[in-house]
Structure 1
Amino acid sequence: MSKTIVILGASYAGLLVAHKLLKHTLPVVKDFKVVLVSPSTHIYGNLASVRAIIPGQFSDEKLWMEIAPGFKNYPSGAYSFILGKASAVDPSSKSVTITQNDGQEVQQNYDILVVATGSRVADGMPWKNEGSYEHGKETLHGMQKRVQSAKSIVIGGAGPTGVETAGELGFEYGKVKDITLITSGDHVLVGGLPAAHAASVEKQLEKMGVKIIKSTRVTSSSTTSDGHTDLGLSNGTTLTTDVYLPTVGVIPNTEFMPSNLLNDKGELIMDNYLRVKNTDSIWAAGDVIDLQRSQVMLTEAQGKALAKNLDLYLKGKDLVWYKTDGPPTLAVTMGRSKATGISGSMKIPGLVLWWFKGRKMGTDMLPKYVTGAGM
């Protein structure tokens, strides 16, 4: 009897798994159908969002690509798309409740469920797009207008997103706008780069006109009557700015999953076969899982491993253990001409990172995810 594989999420992990199953597994196994569920008709190149908030850097066509054309060549009946979001999952009946974008609810049964719904950020920032294609564009365009007209901008959080945002704004506006980066650590990129390496990042940002406030948190944010933002800081002071860009508080999109399958961060509790623990038919990859930190490079590795194990599972073969002990790797851009990073204890040359990441900020990867080319 034909199996139904429901994939929740159509970004990096979800599209990768869908294409690999349809391209490589279906010709052999034949008796399954892929149902892809997403609230957006397009994949969003969110890696580029830190640069895209500056008007004129990327066209909408570079940042978003339509999903449907990439699946047109698969056999009829092997694939379908539902425009909506999962609102509940019942593992006992193997069913998903999906709230479609038009507000209607549908029930979708599954034999295999893949959760690849990614994560979202607080305060409506454009670092992610959890809604429709139209909503994502509206959010980004609104931010571009605010950034362009602002005289002062504060970035809250100095992880990779915060540092890259500060670098892009400093590169473009450092001489004409007041740009401030606030970090709770004693240096930027705490947990990602050693202090000595981070110091060189700070010097580069400061050369571009970015002011860095260390060992300080933003504790409150409120909009004033004239449209500015008052920020309460942990050092007891208040900072007023035209635009506040928080870059902390990533939330896994898993609220529709049973709570007994989640840890206290809202992440799915996984085994090393990329299967959700205490289930026999739910699998996952990307920002929703507890095995590794959120990073596109790791999401791609997980998606490939998951697709391989689903292929083996459908063929009745032994699964392969997914290894999570590789060297920590971090790559950050600092504007449109600089980049730095490490792999394990080795510093990666900035020119290499600029070439592979800094030039196009991942927008060149979107076609392969949409079409499955090379997967």
Structure 2
Amino acid sequence: MMKDLTCIIIGGGYVGLAALKLIKEKTKGMTNGRRIRFVLIDKEPGHLRKFRLFRPTTVEEEIMIPWNDLVLEGFEFVHGTVTFVDSGEKRIQYTDAQGNDAQIHYDLLVVAVGSSVRRPDPNQGGITLVDPQEASEIRKRWRANMRKAAHETNPKERKRLTTIAIVGAGISGIETSADLALAMKREATALGLNSFDTSVYLLNSQERLLPEVSEKYRQKLVQELSKCGVTVLNNRKVLREEAGLVTFSNGDSLPVSICIWMIGLIPNPGLRGMGLPLTSDGRVVVDGSYRVKGAPGVYSIGDCARIVDPKTGEEDQMTCFEGSLQAFRLAKIVMADQEGRPAPIHRSSKPNMDNYFNIGLGQEGVFWIRKWGLDMVMTGKLPGKIKKFVEDKASMLR
């Protein structure tokens, strides 16, 4: 009887889960007469819903989902942190949840460890939204400040206590600002404060919000953010937050109770010690079919890999949308490689990304699609429901 073939996926984020699901479906759990044993290894005890990382800043919501609560079945889970990939011996070394060193053999390996939140320098102050614990801490702090404001007699200090600044105006920053603004208004009303006195500032270092979208969509988004209670300030480069004062590069300042940094993503720093070939900015080097250079049987997709369209030279961005398309193609590539057929080659999905955005604002949202020369924008509850449906599907919730 032929020995099982072991396929390990490192990383149980959105892209890792998609890769696991799609490879299982494409191969039907078999290749060349051998059964495939699927193993998922992740440092977390469950799937972290990064799309919803901002939610615990306003409500008690569990965004770490136990692996058993996912619709995915037919895989083993290993709770551990991968420390090294020995591509010569085809095994990974990892530290388990108890801190013990261990190793496991692989035949196929998919590295999908994703990205980490970029942190500012420690001397820049503020708080960085990196995990559910930080999100919960933010919620406790702003609610405590609101209670202080209810008893504060100095108008300037009361205004500062009910003001939050968010540095970074990407999609995560936009959604976080809207959720906080709406929650602060509700809290103000409950405490007998004027809900219109609460302020959330979205500080954007660029000249325009989301430069890749249409002007029609941008204007509608800013309008809807304003309804939530969010003020967008463009061309504002933040130097630091200190003692409740945000200082800008132009010399201006803004009194705040909390400054939240949301300044983008970097490839997972854990890649640095894994022994895989990396770019200067720390992403895995792969060919046009996601194969890791010099490591047979090893593939990498998602935020942690530098993926380029061989024909156009177009580089994929660090988004879940593009990572999901990569996972879909990877399943076909793995099957082709196992059967000795020519494998599919990566094609850029950027044109699709330029034509579609759906941003959640509380329970509602702002949807945009540009197709066939038409620029269509929709607001209200339906975009919010669509976004939640897509997020739940990406997290493979039951």
Q: What is the TM-score of this pair, normalised by structure 2? A: 0.77
Residue among 256, 259, 276 paired with 1:241: 256
TM-superposed CA distance for 1:156, in Å, is: 0.4
Structure 1 pair 361–181 and aligned structure 2 pair: CA distance change class (3 A): farther
TM-superposed CA distance for 1:7, in Å, is: 1.1
Once the two structures are superposed, residues 188-245 of structure 1 have per-residue CA deviations (whole angstroms, 9 ceiling, x without a partner) of 113x3234532332233233332222212112244x3xxxx44332112333322221
Residue among 332, 336, 341 paired with 2:363: 336
1:46 has 2:50 as partner: yes
1:121 has 2:117 as partner: yes
Structure 1 pair 231–89 and aligned structure 2 pair: CA distance change class (3 A): farther
Asked if structure 1 preserves the Cα contact closer than 8 Å seen for 2:217 and 2:377, the reply is: no
Structure 1 pair 71–286 and aligned structure 2 pair: CA distance change class (3 A): same
Bigger drift between 232-241 and 113-122 goes to: 232-241
Which residue number corresponds to residue 133 of structure 1? none
TM-superposed CA distance for 1:362, in Å, is: 4.6
SS of the residue corresponding to residue 55 of structure 1 reads coil
Once the two structures are superposed, residues 3-27 of structure 1 have per-residue CA deviations (whole angstroms, 9 ceiling, x without a partner) of 3222110121212222333444254
Instruction: State the one-letter code of the partner of 1:10.
Output: G
Instruction: State the one-letter code of the partner of 2:86.
Output: D
Distance 1:236 1:312 in 2: 58
Which residue number corresponds to residue 251 of structure 1? 266
Asked if structure 2 preserves the Cα contact closer than 8 Å seen for 1:286 and 1:294, the reply is: yes
Distance 1:251 1:140 in 2: 19
Residue among 107, 120, 123 paired with 1:111: 107
Bigger drift between 161-170 and 332-341 goes to: 332-341
TM-superposed CA distance for 1:153, in Å, is: 0.8
SS of the residue corresponding to residue 179 of structure 1 reads strand
Q: Which has the larger radius of gyration?
A: 2
Instruction: State the one-letter code of the partner of 2:136.
Output: H
Asked if structure 2 preserves the Cα contact closer than 8 Å seen for 1:47 and 1:361, the reply is: no
Residue among 170, 176, 183 paired with 2:204: 183
Asked if structure 1 preserves the Cα contact closer than 8 Å seen for 2:80 and 2:97, the reply is: yes
Once the two structures are superposed, residues 258-295 of structure 1 have per-residue CA deviations (whole angstroms, 9 ceiling, x without a partner) of 67722232222332212224433221121112231122
Distance 2:204 2:299 in 1: 36
Bigger drift between 112-121 and 231-240 goes to: 231-240
Once the two structures are superposed, residues 277-318 of structure 1 have per-residue CA deviations (whole angstroms, 9 ceiling, x without a partner) of 443322112111223112222222111211222122223332
Structure 1 pair 39–197 and aligned structure 2 pair: CA distance change class (3 A): same
Residue among 357, 361, 378 paired with 1:350: 378
Structure 1 pair 366–125 and aligned structure 2 pair: CA distance change class (3 A): farther
Residue among 287, 290, 293 paired with 1:274: 290
Which residue number corresponds to residue 65 of structure 1? 65
1:201 has 2:217 as partner: no
Instruction: State the one-letter code of the partner of 1:90.
Output: D
Q: What is the TM-score of this pair, normalised by structure 1? A: 0.81
Residue among 19, 26, 29 paired with 2:21: 19
SS of the residue corresponding to residue 22 of structure 2 reads helix
Distance 2:71 2:227 in 1: 47
Which residue number corresponds to residue 6 of structure 2? 4
Asked if structure 1 preserves the Cα contact closer than 8 Å seen for 2:107 and 2:297, the reply is: yes
Instruction: State the one-letter code of the partner of 2:144.
Output: S
Structure 1 pair 208–18 and aligned structure 2 pair: CA distance change class (3 A): closer
Instruction: State the one-letter code of the partner of 2:223.
Output: K
Identity %: 21
1:85 has 2:112 as partner: no
Distance 1:73 1:13 in 2: 16
Distance 1:264 1:73 in 2: 37
Asked if structure 2 preserves the Cα contact closer than 8 Å seen for 1:13 and 1:286, the reply is: yes
SS of the residue corresponding to residue 143 of structure 1 reads helix
Distance 1:239 1:92 in 2: 55
TM-superposed CA distance for 1:146, in Å, is: 2.2
Matched ranges for 1:145-164 at <5 A: 145-150=140-145, 151-164=162-175
Once the two structures are superposed, residues 57-110 of structure 1 have per-residue CA deviations (whole angstroms, 9 ceiling, x without a partner) of xx32xx332213558953xxxx43221111222333333221222222212332
Distance 1:338 1:125 in 2: 24
SS of the residue corresponding to residue 164 of structure 1 reads helix
1:231 has 2:246 as partner: yes
Q: Which runs of 5+ in 1 are unaligned?
A: 130-135
Which residue number corresponds to residue 55 of structure 1? 59
Bigger drift between 345-354 and 113-122 goes to: 345-354
Distance 2:101 2:255 in 1: 44
